[in-house]
Amino acid sequence: MVAVTEVASPLIDESVFTGKIFIDGEWVEGAGGTFGSIAPATGETLATVGLAGPADVRRAADSAAQAQREWAATPHPERAAVMRRAGQLWEQHAEEISGWNIREVGAIPPLAGFALHVSAAECYEAATLPSAPLGSILSSEEPRLSLAEQVPVGVVGVISPFNVPLILGIRAVAPALALGNAVLLKPDPRTVVTGGISLVRIFEEAGLPKGLLQLLPGGADVGEAMVADPQVRVIAFTGSTRAGRSVGELAGKHLKRAHLELGGNSAFIVREDVDVDQAVNLATWGSFLHQGQICMTVGRHIVHESRFEEYVSKLAAKADSMVVGDPAAGQVHLGPLIDEVQRDRVHSLVQDAVAQGATLAAGGTYDELFYRPTVLANPPKSAEAYCEEVFGPVASVVSYATDDEAVELASATEYGLSLGIVSRDALGALELARRIPTGIVHINDQTVNDEATAPFGGVGSSGTGSRHGGAQANIDAFTETRWITMRRDPGQYPL
């Protein structure tokens, strides 16, 4: 897709920073008060935004349900046109929104640019859904026409996290809208401008009728109200495994579907036949991109014993060479962690691993929210920095002797999101991958990848499977299946 290069007027201006939320096409006072959007790199307050409360969810859900009926009946070319315009607007406003992503989220410019690329791509792909085949003809033993039709679920609740707020919001919002649904969006309040206001403004400018996208930033009480609301029939949640379990449990109580994209502790297997420099290049991106605050981040580096010492040495040297700082102030490799709570958790896990016997090959220090990229060699398998999701720039490296041992190490986790394997024997690597349960596999690549056309999801404690990406996964996620039969004449029954 060729990027639109015309200069666009500001999309996000002072008019939206009034401490309000967005319901039924209007900026209104939220029951949750206000919240300051803080730049983690500097501590600067970037904007004052509104917070919703449970009562706002009820109002928004009712408004969305009313708007959805007319939207679902809108001819498919009109819904597709809104999605295409949204894609163009992401491109037109890329510099502006990237700036917010860099300042508010702490993303380095290449990641912020990639998020804008994916956001546009998600809308362009969503534009193909309104005209996609939404049903099939079924065989029947009766003299009738039997059909399965995919129909909109109605209102979809989208709960998105702070770390990559554009991608992790738009990948559910765009297909849900395209398929004729309305959406309630609850972004993390810490990144509400990037992950909430920008989406609202894009779709508003694209011509989406009012009431179809409602913005409800808030805390756990808002999420619980969204899951419990009878108008909301499907929940798309991205976040921690702990929070996801609560969402899934509450959704089950209310008999509604919850698509859960949760945590990870992805393995990266380095086989004996690799070029170590190439493997380290992949590993650096996989472990340290966005300060490790990505669910697909490489957490466990499982390296053949013949390459282990060289790998650790070169990965540590690379980590030591990386620049950590404010991505809005100059070129850096890593920006800040999101807040002090996350920084302190990361540091505690690193210190605990070292206390248990891990070798600190690089990093393990911080300045304010800037945590140095860290390499832990030979951590105990019980150390949380090795066996749990860290969500920080920490690479744990262990060795293996045989393929069977590599499979055992990679599989010894409750998570099953992404897997990377590096080898000169790609087919052999694929055979190895088939023995390790994950939702995503990348041969001769690291674990952090995303495309709008690809199904994305994990197994085990990483979630409930591929629920985003690609036409079929999106249709399955955001529609219901209705069985329809038609006879020429009324049927005859014996009673």
Catalytic residues: 261, 295
Return the number of other C-beta atoms located less than 10 Å from residue 382's C-beta.
9
Q: Give CA–CA dist 156/154, Å, rounded.
A: 7
Judge residue 295's burial from the number of C-beta atoms within 10 Å of its C-beta, 0-12 exposed, 13-18 middle, 19 or more buried: buried
Beta bridge partners of 480: 151
d(CA 148, CA 115): 36
Collapsed DSSP state (helix, strand, coil) of residue 122? helix
Furthest-apart CA pair in the chain: how many Å? Answer: 83
Q: Cα–Cα distance between 275 and 257 in angstroms, integer?
A: 45
Angle formed by the axes of helices 426-433 and 403-411, to 10°? 50
Q: Which two tokens stand for residue 120?
A: 């546009």
**C-alpha neighbours within 13 Å on the C-beta side of residue 7:** 0
Query: 418-422 and 366-367 as β-strands: parallel, antiparallel, unpaired?
Result: unpaired
Cα separation of 84 and 88, whole Å? 6
Residues 6+ apart with CB under 8 A from 17: 47, 48, 49
Compute how many other C-beta atoms are within 10 angstroms of the C-beta atom of residue 305: 13
Handedness of CA 337, 342, 347, 349 (dihedral sign): negative
Q: How many CB atoms lie within 10 A of CB 191?
A: 28
Q: How far is the C-alpha of 223 from the C-alpha of 100, rounded, in Å?
A: 24
